[in-house]
Amino acid sequence: MLAPRSATFRAPGAPQPLRRAPGMQRAAQPRVGNVPGQFFTDSTCIDCDVCRWMAPQVFTRVSGQSSVTEQPADREGRIAAMQALLSCPTVRAASASHLLPPAHPAEAAPAQFSIHMRDRDPAEFKAAQQGMPIPVAGCPGVHHCGYHSEKSFSAASYFIARESGNVMVDCPRFNPALAARLEALGGVQHIVLSHMCARRSGGVT
């Protein structure tokens, strides 16, 4: 079964995410419900549910937003959590350096997502990137692209490999590593949009 493609919108009375002024950096602070460890979420979470279905063993809904309620116990779990981080739609475009692991912890880019990771392993982070798009179990030729975008209300994008021409269903946030992987899979010949709002909001670029 394919994962849901549309966001779960915040219920009335749920905590509102903190917003920053353009160009203003924020110090990442764990929100309520996070357990100590390598991964945590902050209060900018928009409750889109993406991380919770991508890595359900790690992320849980707590008080209207996502929190890390169990740290991943092995490499496979950490890579799934990293892919959820990369797919978080609240990424800000002020810097693209978060897409590559820093040579030294002191060179880490300012926090850009609602999900954060301490002391990441460069090899595991690279494996998380190279594993996207993610094959969908039980659906030959179908891949989840990840890299969700706020512009399309965090809708999930899928790549479908076909002999008659590969299809992309909805559009992910642009990422050079993902673009290279899709090109290696034969590129995209057709795009199907399930949300008219993606056209109107500029989600297709």
DSSP string, 124-156: HHHHHHHT-SEEPTT-TTEEE-----GGGTT--
pTM above 0.85, yes or no: no
pLDDT tens-digit series, residues 164-174 = 999 999 999 99
Q: Can you name the CATH fold of 39-130?
A: Alpha-Beta Plaits (3.30.70)
Name the residue ranges covered by the structural domains of the chain: 39-130, 134-201
pLDDT tens column, 78-126? 999 999 999 999 875 433 334 444 443 333 444 368 999 999 899 999 9
**What is the rounded radius of gyration, in angstroms, for the C-alpha atoms of the chain?**
17
CB 42 within 8 A of CB 116: yes
155 pLDDT band, cuts 50/70/90, is confident
Distance CA 99, CA 125 (A): 9
Residue at token pair 């994008």: 157
Lowest mean pLDDT among 23-27, 57-61, 86-90, 129-133: 23-27
Question: Would you give the end-to-end CA distance of the chain in angstroms?
Answer: 28
Kindly report the average pLDDT of the chain as a whole number: 81
For residues 112 and 92, give the distance between their C-alpha atoms in angstroms, rounded to a whole number.
5
